[in-house]
Amino acid sequence: MKLLAQELSFETLTGAVAAHRALADEAGLLAFCRAVKETGGRLVALWGGDLRDRGQGEGFALHVAFGIETGLAIVSLPLPAANPEYPDLSEIFPAANRLQRAVFDLLGIRARGGDPRPWLRHANWPEDFFPLRRDCDASRTFPPQNEDYAFVRVEGDGVHEIAVGPIHAGIIEPGHFRFSIVGEKVLRLEERFGWTHKGIEKRFEQMTLADGYRLAGRVSGDSTVAYAWAYCQAAESLGNAVVPPRALWLRALFLERERVANHLGDLGYLGNDAALSFGLAQFMRLKEDWLRLSGALFGHRMMMDAIVPGGVAADLSQQGGEQISAQCDAIEREAAILKNIYDEHAGLQDRFLTTGRLLPSLAAELSVCGLVGRASSQTWDLRTQNPVVPYDRLETQIATHRAGDVAARVAVRFEELFESLRLIRLIVARLPQGERLLPLVRPGAEDAMGIGWVEGWRGDVLVALEAGSDGRIRRCHCHDPSWLIWPALEHAIMGNIVPDFPLINKSFNLSYSGQDL
Amino acid sequence: MYQILKQIVKTGIKTEAPPQPDQALRVAAARLEDAMSRTLGRALVIRQIDAGSCNGCEAEIHALSNPYYNLEGLGIKFAASPKHADLLLVTGPVAKNMEVAVKRAYECTPHPKLVVAVGDCGISGGIFGESYASCGRVANVIPVDVVVPGCPPTPEALLIGILTAISAK
Supply the CATH number for residue B84's domain.
Answer: 3.40.50.12280
Alpha carbon of B12: minimum distance to chain A alpha carbons (Å): 11
Residue B3 included in any domain? no
Instruction: Say if the Cβ atoms of A169 and B98 lie within 8 Å.
Output: no
C-alpha distance from residue A485 to each of A96, A498, B40 (Å): 12, 20, 43
Give pLDDT, residue A10. Answer: 95
* Window B:18-37, CB contacts with A under 8 Å: none
A279 interfaces chain B, CB cutoff of 8 Å: no
Residue A272, min C-alpha distance to chain B (Å):
12
Asked if residue B38 has pLDDT above 90, the reply is no
> Looking at domain A200-516, what is its CATH homologous superfamily?
Cytochrome-c3 Hydrogenase, chain B (1.10.645.10)
Instruction: For residue A11, give the 3-state DSSP assignment.
Output: strand
A135 CB neighbours in chain B (<8 A) are none
Q: Which of B132, B138, B141, B159 to mutate to test the interface with A (most CBs of A within 10 A)?
A: B132
Given B52, B105, B151, which is nearest A196 (Cβ)?
B52
Q: How far is A503 from chain B (nearest CA, A)?
A: 17
Residue B132 lies in a domain: yes
Identical fold between A11-112 and A200-516: no
Identity at A286, one-letter amino acid code: L
Cβ within 8 Å of B, A 430-459: none
Q: Hey, is the C-beta of A106 within 8 angstroms of any chain B C-beta? A: no
CATH superfamily, domain at A11-112: NADH:ubiquinone oxidoreductase Nqo5 subunit (3.30.460.80)
Nearest-CB residue to B95 (from A198, A282, A302): A198
Greatest alpha-carbon span in chain B:
57
Q: Distance between terminal CA atoms of chain A?
A: 34
Interface subset of A 321-380, CB within 8 angstroms of B: 337-338, 340-341, 344
Domain holding B51, by residue range, is 45-165
Q: How far apart are CA B88 and CA B81, in angstroms?
A: 10
Q: Would an 8 Å CB–CB cutoff place B49 in contact with chain A?
A: yes
Q: Three-state DSSP class for A112?
A: strand
Average pLDDT, chain B: 92
Considering only CB atoms, B128 lies closest to which of A140, A198, A340, namely A198
Which B positions 51-80 lie with beta carbon below 8 A of chain A? 51-63, 65-68, 78, 80
- Pick from A167, A159, A166: nearest CA to A188: A159
ipTM of predicted assembly, 2 dp = 0.94
Q: How far is CA B23 from the centre of its chain?
A: 16
The answer to whether residue B40 sits within a structural domain is: no
Q: Does residue B62 lie within any of the structural domains?
A: yes
Decide if A303 contacts A224 (C-beta within 8 A): yes
Q: Check B56 against A224: CB less than 8 A apart.
A: yes
Nearest CA to A482 out of A66, A99, A19, A172 is that of A99
Q: Would you call B43 an interface residue with chain A, using a CB distance cutoff of 8 Å?
A: no
Contact B44, B166 (CB under 8 A): yes
Contact A284 B62 (CB under 8 A): yes
A265 and B62 within 8 Å at the Cβ level: the answer is yes
Mutant choice from A171, A172, A288 vs B, greatest count of B C-beta within 10 A: A171
Contacts of A301 in chain B (CB under 8 A): 60, 154
Tell me the pLDDT tens digit for each residue of B78-127: 999 999 999 999 999 999 999 999 999 999 999 889 999 999 999 999 99
A:282-301 residues touching chain B, CB 8 A cutoff: 282, 284-285, 287-288, 291, 295, 301
Q: Do B97 and A221 touch (CB under 8 A)?
A: no
- Tell whether B157 is covered by a domain: yes
> Per-residue pLDDT for chain A (517 aa), expressed as one digit of tens each?
999 888 899 999 989 999 999 999 999 999 999 999 999 999 999 999 999 998 888 999 999 999 999 999 999 999 999 999 999 999 999 999 999 999 999 999 999 999 999 999 999 999 999 999 999 999 999 998 888 899 999 989 999 999 998 999 899 999 999 999 999 999 999 999 999 999 999 999 999 999 999 999 999 999 999 999 999 999 999 988 889 999 999 999 999 999 999 999 999 999 999 999 999 999 999 999 999 999 999 999 999 999 999 999 999 999 999 999 999 999 999 999 999 999 999 999 999 999 999 999 999 999 999 999 999 999 999 999 999 999 999 999 999 999 999 999 999 999 999 999 999 999 999 999 999 988 776 776 777 899 999 999 999 999 999 998 888 999 999 999 999 999 999 999 999 999 999 999 999 999 999 999 9
Which of B7, B132, B152 is nearest residue A141 as measured by Cβ atoms? Answer: B132
Are the beta carbons of A295 and A301 closer than 8 angstroms?
yes
**Residue in A122, A171, A214 closest to B97 by CB:** A122
- How far does chain B reach from its first CA to its final CA, in angstroms? 48
- The verdict on a CB contact (< 8 Å) between B127 and A512 is no
Tell me whether residues A281 and B152 touch, CB distance under 8 A.
no
Chain A within 8 Å of B48 (Cβ-Cβ)?
yes
Residue B121 domain-assigned?
yes
Q: Where are the domains of chain A?
A: 11-112, 159-192, 200-516
> Nearest residue on chain A to B58, judged by CA atoms?
A171
- Taking one residue from A and the other from B, the number of pairs with CB-CB distance under 8 angstroms is 171
Q: Does residue B39 belong to any structural domain of this protein?
A: no
The number of domains in chain B is: 1
Contact flag A288-B66 (C-beta cutoff 8 Å): yes
Closest A-chain CA to B92: A196
- The Cβ of residue B108 has, within 10 Å, a number of other Cβ atoms equal to 15
- The answer to whether the beta carbons of residues A60 and A52 sit under 8 Å apart is yes
How many C-beta neighbours within 10 Å does residue A419 have? 19
Q: Report whether pLDDT(B73) > 80.
A: yes
Q: Which one of B55, B65, B71, B138 makes the best mutation probe of the A interface by having the most chain A beta carbons within 10 Å?
A: B55
Residue B101 in any domain: the answer is yes
Amino acid at A372: V
Dump the DSSP string for chain B: -HHHHHHHHHH---PPPPPPP-GGGBSS---S-HHHHHHHTTSEEEEEEESS--SHHHHHHHHTTSTTT-GGGGTEEE-SSGGG-SEEEEESS-BGGGHHHHHHHHHHSPTT-EEEEEHHHHHH-GGG-SSSSB--SGGGTS--SEEE-SSSPPHHHHHHHHHHHTS--
User: Which pLDDT belongs to residue A448?
Assistant: 87
